Every structure is written in C-alpha cells, then in structure tokens.
C-alpha cells in the first residue's frame, strides 16, 4: 500500500514524541480508503501502523488488547459503512463487539481517546487522512502507552476470554474466512446486505 505520510521522528522527547497508532482495517473499504489517501498524496502524520484484515467482523477484541499490550498508544478499528460490508453482515458483528470493548476499556480506566472505531469507505481517502490526523492530535497530549496499564489490559483479557467462551456456540460472522486464510480477490458478485434490526441504533462511531 502506498501512503504519503510526513516523515517525523517518533521519540519519547516531549516536543518530538508522536504516538504509535495501530489501525486494523478491513480489506475492502477502509484499507482501500487508506490506499486512496496514499495514492492521492494526502499528507497525514506518520503515526499509523496498518494491519489489513479480511473484514471488520473478523476482528477479535483480543487483537486490540494485544496491540495495547505490545506498545500501541492508540488503536483504530475501521470497516465498511453499514450496508456495504462485502460479507453482508460482518460490520454488524464488529459494531456489537467494539461497542462492548469500548465499554470494557472505559471500565478499566483507559481513556476513550486511545480506542477508535469508525467506518471508512474505499472512496474516503481524505476522511482517512483526517481521521489519523485527529487521532494523533487527541492521543499526543496523553503521552506514550504506560506499562502500568498492562495490568488493566490483562484483566480485560480475562474478561473478554470469559465472554467469548459464553458465545462460543455462535462465533464471528460465518461468511468470512478465518484469519489464517489468504485474502481473496474481489469478485463482481457481492452478496446484498441483509437488514439488521440494530441499524436503527445508528452507524459510524461508537
Ligand atoms: Fe469491510 Fe466487512 S468487508 S467491514
């Protein structure tokens, strides 16, 4: 993926420090949006590390916690807008899981500025660049990831694993290949999105 980012140093010196943002992006929309930002030569801070996943519905909340545990200062989860998921319902799963995760993080005292959940389409390159800019601005004053948060994340880790064992009978979106499977190329045929009773609850940010 081509990205155009300002090449500024990431150090712990207060005046120069920039956060490390891990972005978990769905392949079909948000990753394409990030790619568009790059190919359009839009400039945004070089603070983001992108991880491409098949669909936001494949993102386990543990991925977010692992990123924090391994030194991310903020985590962004982004997927297709509601109704646009290439697997029809993956982002509905993501919305439920990430809403739950956001509440758990808040419960553990993690500032909301450290976790972001957004919809970014393939045509929203400028929006992606703006989002990275916004996250960087919000997280920079918080400073780097603090090792003392590790205990909180481990506690959440246990909580989430317990919750997942409860819902083991009905795992993540059945239409999406497991994470180990290679990402397949786009086909002309895309399944239509199914109606979801939660849609009335609103879309976009959590
Ligand atoms: Fe993008 Fe499912 S393919 S959210």
pLDDT of amino acid 193: 44
Protein residues whose CB sits closer than 6 Å to any atom of ligand 1: 26, 28-29, 55-57, 79-80, 85-87, 90-91
The answer to whether position 180 is within a domain reads no
41 CA from centroid of ligand 1 (Å): 24
Please state whether the predicted TM-score (pTM) of the whole model is above 0.75: no
Does 192 reside within a domain?
A: no
Please, what is the average pLDDT of the chain?
Answer: 79
pLDDT band at 65 (very low <50, low <70, confident <90, very high): confident
The reply to whether 193 falls in a domain is no
Q: Is the pLDDT of residue 99 over 80?
A: yes
Residue 171 Cα, ligand 1 centroid: separation in angstroms?
17
Q: Is 128 within a domain?
A: yes
Compute the distance from residue 158 Cα to the ligand 1 centre, in Å: 27
Domain assignment present for 46: yes
Span of 93-107, 123-137, 170-184 with lowest mean pLDDT? 170-184
Asked if residue 64 has pLDDT above 60, the reply is yes
For a pocket test of ligand 1, which of 35, 78, 82, 91 has the largest count of ligand atoms closer than 8 A to its C-beta? 91
Residue numbers of the domain that contains 133 = 17-174
* Three-state secondary structure readout of the chain: CCCCEECCCCCCCCCCCCCCEEEEEECCCHHHHHHHHHHCCCCEECCEEEEEECCHHHCCHHHHHHHHHCCCCEEEEEECCCCCCCCCCHHHHHHHHHHHHHHHHHHCCCCHHHEEEEECCCCCHHHHHHHHHHHHHHHHHHCCCCHHHHHHHHHHHHHHHHHHHHCCCCCCCCCCCCCCCCCCCCCCCCCCCCCCHHHHHCCCCC
Report the pLDDT value the prediction gives residue 173, as an integer from 0 to 100: 57
CA of 51 to the centre of ligand 1 (A): 14
- Domain annotation covers residue 120: yes
The pLDDT of residue 3 is 46
pLDDT in tens, 158-168: 777 777 776 66
Ligand 1 atom having least distance to the Cα of 176: 2
Compute CA 157 distance to the chain's CA centroid, rounded to the nearest angstrom: 17
In a domain, 102, yes or no: yes
Q: Residue 145 belongs to a domain with what CATH number? A: 3.40.50
> What is the per-residue pLDDT for 189?
44
Of 51-65, 85-99, 150-164, the range with the lowest mean pLDDT is 150-164
Q: Is 11 within a domain?
A: no
- Position in ligand 1 atom list of the atom nearest CA 26: 1
State the total domains in the chain: 1
């Amino acid at each position: 993926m081509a990205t155009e980012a300002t090449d500024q140093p990431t150090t712990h010196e207060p005046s120069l420090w920039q956060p490390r943002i891990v972005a978990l992006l769905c392949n079909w929309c948000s990753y394409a949006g990030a790619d568009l930002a790059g190919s359009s030569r839009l400039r945004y801070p070089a603070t983001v590390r992108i991880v491409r996943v098949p669909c936001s519905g494949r993102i386990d909340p543990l991925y977010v916690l692992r990123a924090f545990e391994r030194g991310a200062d903020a985590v962004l989860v982004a997927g297709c807008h509601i109704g646009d998921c290439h697997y029809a319902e993956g982002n509905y799963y993501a919305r439920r899981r990430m809403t739950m995760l956001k509440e758990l993080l808040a419960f553990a005292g993690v500032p909301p500025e450290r976790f972001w959940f957004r919809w970014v389409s393939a045509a929203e390159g400028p929006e992606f660049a703006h989002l990275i800019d916004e996250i960087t601005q919000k997280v920079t004053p918080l400073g780097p990831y603090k090792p003392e948060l590790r205990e909180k994340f481990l506690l959440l880790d246990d909580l989430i694993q317990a919750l997942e064992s409860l819902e083991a009978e009905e795992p993540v979106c059945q239409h999406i290949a497991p994470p180990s499977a290679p990402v397949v190329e786009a086909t002309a045929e895309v399944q239509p999105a199914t109606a979801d009773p939660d849609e009335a609850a609103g879309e976009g940010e959590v």
